[in-house]
């Protein structure tokens, strides 16, 4: 795990079921995350993923790559275009910093409408990590 | 008139809100629901929770209400009253001091960190409101979050007017350089080309930035306001779909670029105008100008 190492590209299919089940699993009951009619009436094109899920996906993207021994210390994200139901959310990432066991990974999650999320994740890896 | 900065200072002075308890202690059924929904197969979350779940534990729930001392709720009410009625989250920075074990009881406190504005954004004029939340187990701070929202007045999007059937217009030539513009007018957006390299705004559109030479144009959605920089009154020759005389105005948009369009009304230099969209047919919506009754 060295500076410049890319993370494998990862695609999330944001089906309506995914948008709704993740919103409820994060205890976010705002109608724009589960009721399409109301979301459209409020000016959205469809229901969309909530922030706590975006945070969780960013974390998962990094831990899927780093392995279960990695400890997540920080998730800093900037939110952009909404990720609507039926969008494909594509994640890209790269190691941008390493100080011994502390790694900083830059992450972008993108849909066809633009960047949904950009940010950095700080993790701590075991001492024996190459 | 509400003094937003003064109100913000008052809310910030209140400091931390009273601790609000999580509904349940950190627990495995909620963790497993979360893992299942997100498709996370991390094997380590049997006795500790995924760090990114920290906010989940203290969510207000289906019938939850903000407590009166919640600084974000107070600030939202103040900005609502000042006319900034829409909200969008822009940043969430979470720091986890340690992993949380099953059975631990969390509480959360929040303070107002910063309110800045008014700022012009792609969504409309607004204020950035930043809060800082701390999660506690007993008196130990276990996680923190800086959370920023933009509270804004939605940029006005006029409803396209439909013309009388059979209306004619001189059709613009649409190509790869100008497609974004006409796509925008169809959606009720006045788009200004912006260089993907140096950010320079330019109009009329072209393939290359005259400043830095980059060939990756993007665009900015204009608020649609400007002043008449120059105009002509067209008397002759006849133009399909137009009654002569009509006015073509060169408008300097508030964003800085100049744009041509028909002006509906008596022209004068320096006059405030706003964009209006006329739907010609499914393919074509034309932007034009009309005098703006300034507030």
Q: Which domains does chain B have, with CATH numbers?
A: 4-152 (3.10.129.10), 161-291 (no CATH)
- Give pLDDT, residue B295: 38
Write down the mean pLDDT value for chain A. Answer: 95
CA distances B75 to B9, B79, B144, B147, B279, Å, are 10, 6, 20, 13, 40
Which of A24, A28, A55 lies closest to B94 in CB terms?
A: A55
Q: How far is A4 from chain B (nearest CA, A)?
A: 23
User: For an interface test with A, which of B23, B42, B52 has the most A Cβ atoms less than 10 Å from its Cβ?
Assistant: B52
The answer to whether the CB of A115 falls within 8 A of the CB of A123 is no
Which of B39, B44, B52 lies closest to A59 in CB terms?
A: B52
Number of inter-chain CB pairs under 8 A, A vs B? 91
Structure tokens of A35? 């009721």
pLDDT higher than threshold 60 for residue B183: yes
Count other Cβ atoms within 10 Å, centred on residue B85: 14
Q: Do A60 and B88 touch (CB under 8 A)?
A: no
pLDDT higher than threshold 90 for residue B255: no
Q: Do B91 and A21 touch (CB under 8 A)?
A: no
- Give pLDDT, residue B165: 55
Residue B258: pLDDT band (50, 70, 90) is very high
pLDDT higher than threshold 90 for residue B159: no
Residue B158: pLDDT band (50, 70, 90) is low
Residue B164: pLDDT band (50, 70, 90) is low
Q: Is A68 on the interface with B (CB under 8 A)?
A: yes
Q: Do B91 and A78 touch (CB under 8 A)?
A: yes
Partner residues linked to A104 by β-bridges: A97, A122
Which residues of A1-130 form beta strands (DSSP E)? Answer: 6-14, 71-79, 87-99, 102-111, 114-124
Q: Do B91 and A75 touch (CB under 8 A)?
A: no
Structure tokens of B184? 């925008």
- Give pLDDT, residue B269: 94
Count other Cβ atoms within 10 Å, centred on residue B1: 4
- Give pLDDT, residue A125: 95
Structure tokens of B164? 């009388």
Residue B154: pLDDT band (50, 70, 90) is confident
Which of B42, B52, B61 lies closest to A55 in CB terms?
A: B52
Partners of B91 on chain A (C-beta within 8 Å) are 76-79
Partners of B50 on chain A (C-beta within 8 Å) are 56, 59, 72
User: For an interface test with B, which of A75, A117, A118 has the most B Cβ atoms less than 10 Å from its Cβ?
Assistant: A75
* Per-block mean pLDDT, blocks of 10 residues, chain A (130 long): 94 98 97 92 88 98 97 97 95 95 96 92 90
User: Considering chain B, what percentage of its residues have pLDDT values greater than 70?
Assistant: 94
Q: Do B42 and A68 touch (CB under 8 A)?
A: yes
Residue with tokens 């990114």: B52
pLDDT higher than threshold 60 for residue B294: no
pTM for this predicted structure: 0.70
Residue B102: pLDDT band (50, 70, 90) is very high
Q: What is the pLDDT of residues B261-284, one digit of tens each?
A: 999 888 999 999 999 988 888 888
The answer to whether the CB of B258 falls within 8 A of the CB of B245 is no
Partners of A52 on chain B (C-beta within 8 Å) are 52, 55-56, 59
User: For an interface test with B, which of A42, A55, A64 has the most B Cβ atoms less than 10 Å from its Cβ?
Assistant: A55
Q: How far is A2 from chain B (nearest CA, A)?
A: 23
Q: Is A63 on the interface with B (CB under 8 A)?
A: yes
Segment 15-34 of chain A within 8 Å of chain B by CB: 18, 21-22, 24-29
Partners of B42 on chain A (C-beta within 8 Å) are 60, 63-64, 68
Structure tokens of B178? 């100008």
What CATH number is given for A6-124 in this structure?
Answer: 3.10.129.10
Write down the mean pLDDT value for chain B. Answer: 90
Mean pLDDT of B177-182: 93
Q: What is the pLDDT of residues B59-94, one digit of tens each?
A: 999 988 888 899 999 999 999 999 898 889 999 999
């Amino acid at each position: 795990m060295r500076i410049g190492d890319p993370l494998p590209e990862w695609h999330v299919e944001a089906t309506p079921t995914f948008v709704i089940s993740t919103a409820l699993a994060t205890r976010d009951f705002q109608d724009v995350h589960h009721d399409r009619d109301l979301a459209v009436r409020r000016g959205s094109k469809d229901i969309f993923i909530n922030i706590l899920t975006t945070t969780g996906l960013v974390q998962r993207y990094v831990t899927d790559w780093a392995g279960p021994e990695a400890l997540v210390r920080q998730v800093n994200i900037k939110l952009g275009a909404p990720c609507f139901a039926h969008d494909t959310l594509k994640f890209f990432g790269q190691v941008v910093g390493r100080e011994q066991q502390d790694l900083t990974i830059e992450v972008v999650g993108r849909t066809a409408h633009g960047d949904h999320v950009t940010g950095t994740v700080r993790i701590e890896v075991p001492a024996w990590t190459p | 008139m509400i003094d937003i900065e003064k109100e913000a200072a008052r809310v910030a002075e209140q400091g931390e809100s009273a601790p609000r308890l999580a509904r349940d202690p950190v627990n495995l059924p909620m963790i497993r629901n979360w893992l299942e929904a997100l498709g996370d197969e991390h094997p380590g979350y049997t006795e500790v929770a995924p760090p990114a779940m920290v906010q989940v534990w203290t969510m207000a729930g289906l019938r939850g209400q903000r407590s009166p001392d919640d600084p974000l709720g107070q600030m939202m009410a103040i900005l609502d009253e000042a006319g900034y009625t829409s909200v969008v989250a822009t940043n969430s920075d979470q720091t986890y001091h340690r992993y949380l074990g099953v059975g631990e009881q969390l509480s959360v406190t929040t303070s107002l960190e910063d309110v800045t504005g008014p700022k012009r954004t792609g969504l409309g004029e607004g204020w950035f409101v930043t809060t800082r939340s701390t999660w506690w187990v007993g008196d130990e701070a276990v996680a923190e979050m800086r959370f920023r929202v933009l509270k804004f007045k939605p940029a006005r999007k006029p409803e396209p007017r439909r013309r009388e059937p059979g209306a004619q217009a001189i059709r613009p030539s649409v190509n790869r350089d100008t497609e974004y513009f006409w796509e925008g007018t169809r959606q009720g957006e006045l788009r200004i080309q912006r260089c993907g390299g140096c950010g320079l705004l330019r109009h009329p559109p072209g393939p290359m930035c005259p400043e830095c030479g980059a060939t990756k144009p993007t665009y900015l959605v204009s608020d649609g306001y400007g002043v008449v920089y120059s105009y002509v009154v067209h008397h002759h020759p006849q133009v399909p779909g137009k009654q002569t005389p009509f006015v073509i105005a060169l408008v300097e948009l508030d964003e800085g670029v100049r744009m041509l369009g028909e002006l509906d009304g008596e022209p004068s230099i320096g006059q405030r105008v706003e964009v209006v969209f006329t739907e010609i047919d499914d393919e074509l919506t034309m932007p034009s100008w009309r005098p703006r009754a300034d507030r």
